[in-house]
């Protein structure tokens, strides 16, 4: 797709600019021709920006970007070596490294963004939910909307003998865990996994299944699913098409929650350490560009992302969330300046505490079948999340005058301060250093030594 036409030009350009480019002077690249995969979502933006703004070239990297059909194909490409790295679901490197779904050691030196997802329901479901949602002084539904408003609708479907189906993008996606979190916070059971039954629907009130992101609106319009959790622009697409209503954003579920990562194999990082640092440098620069000057570059980013080789959605649809607003019901557009965050709040730093949260959700719903000690969560996070690589890249950018010293958490131990209760929809705080205590504090989900046996939780 991208990059082939640029490669010849870039190679020629290199001959005249290599000595003047800081990246060449600092790093002897072990591999300079790379192919990266992505899914057509707005949060792939750091890759598009690093390519279009020439940040990869500045590092001596000749990159081809290739859209992938789905998350499994993308992961298989990275593991098999047809892709050198990719825009990934944060759960993918963790799940692969612990052997859930596939078995491969994947790492991430770079977290791609915060927030960026939403939960959308069909028009039919929204009409039924509205009776359970109070209005504000402006006559519009009060936000955030709890899944308690959905519970009577699910009960109605059940009384009529109809399943209530919702889509998410992959079993180890943030979207799966956010949707489950929202449902459980409202008293609805999203179902468990077991080693024998990987549907994730054991004991479920709401049946969750995988649907690729770009297919979400059409699948809901066809009636196959009653709602979904997905990244942009596929929530706003439902609004523009008039087929559904986003009811909540993940910013409202958990303020400034981690989202995608850039993933590559541990083998790649070991074999090509300087190349890995160079990639990380280019991506950090892209993230800075996306957020600098109060998102001043976002419309330019929207123009990039609307190209068919990237996201390929209408500019107006992408801009609806990328430029600081989010539209719920048609005409109900609200200010959400942090709906997409790419650099602020240390968004790009790969925190161990983010990794631990994903692992707790895998354990909560049975993807990790048996209890693990707190030490296991920390050890696993350290195998996958690599702030050491990130900080090497950041230090070089600061030394080159391309980033500000104050923008990086140099002294972090890899763990964020605990998330306070007021930043989470169920008002349950999260401390990444105490994963089992956190699991015990959640009313729905596995805790302690509990396991799923057949169709029930034991222990």
Query: Which pLDDT does position 235 carry in this prediction?
Result: 95
The domain of 90 spans: 4-115+259-327+338-350+386-407
Domain-located, residue 221: yes
Tell me which of 211, 227, 256 is where a domain ends.
Answer: 256
Return per-residue pLDDT of the chain as tens, 459 residues.
444 344 434 444 443 334 334 444 469 999 999 999 999 999 999 999 999 999 999 999 999 999 999 999 999 999 999 999 999 999 999 999 999 999 999 999 999 999 999 999 999 999 999 999 999 999 999 999 999 999 999 999 999 999 999 999 999 999 999 999 999 999 999 999 999 999 999 999 999 999 998 899 999 999 999 999 999 999 999 999 999 999 999 999 999 999 999 999 999 999 999 999 999 999 999 999 999 999 999 999 999 999 999 999 999 999 989 998 999 999 999 999 999 999 999 999 999 999 999 999 999 999 999 999 999 999 999 999 999 999 999 999 999 999 999 999 999 999 999 999 999 999 999 999 999 999 999 999 999 999 999 999 999
The Cα–Cα gap between 238 and 121 comes to 9
Measured CA to CA, the distance from residue 314 to residue 317 in angstroms comes to 5
Residue 18 is predicted with a pLDDT of 40
Q: Give the span between the Cα atoms of 382 and 394, in whole angstroms.
A: 19
Same domain? 47 vs 87: yes
Q: What is the DSSP string of 346-391?
A: GTTS--HHHHHHHHHHHHHTTSS-S---HHHHHHHHHHHB-HHHHH
In a domain, 33, yes or no: yes
Q: Residue 11, Cβ neighbours under 10 Å: how many?
A: 12
Is residue 370 in a domain?
A: no
Residue 201 lies in a domain: yes
pLDDT of the residue at 3: 46
The last residue of one of the domains, among 217, 238, 256, is 256
Indicate whether 134 and 80 sit together in one domain. Answer: no
217 and 303: one domain? no
* Total-model pTM: 0.94
The tokens 């490409």 sit on which residue?
77
Task: Return the DSSP state at 427.
Answer: -
Q: Is 201 helix (H, G, I), strand (E, B) or coil?
A: coil
Whether 251 maps to a domain, the answer reads: yes
Q: What is the pLDDT of residue 253?
A: 97
For residue 191, give both structure tokens: 């179902």
Strand 244-249 and strand 117-122: the pairing is antiparallel
Q: Are 101 and 228 in a shared domain?
A: no
CA 457 distance to own-chain centroid: 29
Q: In this structure, are 124 and 240 located in the same domain? A: yes
Residues 81 and 58 in one domain: yes
Please indicate, yes or no, whether residues 223 and 282 belong to a single structural domain of this protein.
Answer: no
CA dihedral over 187, 325, 288, 274, signed as positive or negative: positive
130 in any annotated domain = yes
Place of tokens 């505490």: 353
Structure tokens at 148: 């308690």
Q: For residues 77 and 34, is the Cβ–Cβ distance under 8 A?
A: no
- Both 8 and 39 in one domain: the answer is yes
The count of domains in the chain is 2
Per the structure block, which two tokens stand in for 302? 């929207």
| Residue 216: CATH number of its domain | 3.40.190.10
Q: Which of 223, 256, 289 is the last residue of a domain?
A: 256
DSSP assignment string, 214-227: GGHHHHHHTTS-SE
Give the integer Cα–Cα distance in Å for 372 and 369.
9
Residues 74 and 11 both lie in one domain: yes
User: Do 265 and 403 belong to one domain?
Assistant: yes
Instruction: Let me know whether 264 and 252 are in one domain.
Output: no
Decide if 316 is inside a domain.
yes
Q: Is residue 168 part of a domain?
A: yes
Residues 301 and 196 reside in one and the same domain: no
């Amino acid at each position: 797709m991208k990059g082939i036409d640029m490669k010849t030009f870039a190679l020629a350009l290199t001959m005249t600019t290599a000595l003047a480019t800081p990246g060449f002077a600092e790093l002897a690249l072990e591999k300079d021709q790379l192919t990266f995969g992505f899914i057509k979502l707005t949060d792939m933006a750091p890759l598009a920006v690093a390519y279009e703004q020439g940040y990869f070239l500045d590092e001596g990297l000749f990159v081809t970007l290739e859209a992938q059909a789905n998350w499994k194909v993308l992961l298989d490409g990275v593991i098999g070596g047809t892709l050198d790295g990719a825009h990934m679901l944060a759960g993918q490197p963790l799940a692969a490294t612990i052997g859930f779904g596939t078995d491969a050691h994947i790492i991430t030196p770079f977290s791609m963004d915060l927030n960026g997802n939403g939960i959308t329901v069909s028009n039919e479901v929204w009409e039924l939910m509205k009776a359970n949602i109070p209005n504000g002084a402006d006559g519009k539904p009060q936000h955030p909307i709890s899944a308690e408003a959905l519970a009577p609708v699910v009960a109605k479907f059940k009384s009529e003998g109809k399943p209530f189906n919702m889509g998410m993008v992959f079993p180890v996606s943030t979207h799966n865990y956010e949707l489950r979190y929202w449902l459980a916070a409202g008293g609805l059971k999203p179902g468990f996994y077991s080693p024998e039954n990987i549907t994730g629907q054991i004991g479920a009130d709401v049946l969750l299944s995988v649907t690729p992101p770009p297919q979400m609106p059409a699948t809901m319009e066809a009636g196959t699913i009653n709602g979904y959790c997905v990244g942009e622009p596929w929530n706003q697409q439902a609004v523009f098409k008039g087929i559904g209503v986003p009811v909540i954003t993940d910013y409202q579920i958990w303020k400034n929650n981690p989202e995608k990562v850039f993933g590559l194999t541990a083998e790649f990082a070991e074999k090509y350490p300087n190349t890995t640092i160079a990639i990380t440098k280019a991506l950090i620069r892209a993230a800075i560009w996306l957020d600098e000057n109060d998102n001043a570059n976002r419309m330019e980013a929207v123009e990039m992302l609307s190209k068919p080789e990237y996201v390929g959605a209408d500019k107006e649809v992408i801009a609806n969330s990328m430029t600081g607003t989010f539209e719920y019901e048609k005409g109900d557009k609200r200010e959400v300046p942090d709906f997409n965050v790419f650099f602020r709040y240390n968004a790009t730093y790969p925190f161990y505490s983010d990794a631990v949260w994903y692992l707790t959700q895998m354990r909560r719903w049975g993807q990790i079948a048996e209890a693990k000690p707190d030490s296991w969560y920390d050890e696993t996070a350290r195998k996958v999340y690599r702030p050491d690589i990130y900080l090497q890249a950041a230090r070089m950018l600061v030394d080159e005058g391309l980033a500000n010293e104050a923008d990086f958490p140099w002294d972090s131990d890899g763990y964020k301060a605990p998330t306070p209760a007021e930043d989470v929809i169920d008002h349950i705080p999260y401390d990444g250093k105490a994963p089992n205590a956190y699991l015990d504090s959640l009313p729905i989900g596995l805790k302690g030594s509990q396991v799923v046996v057949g169709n029930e939780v034991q222990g």
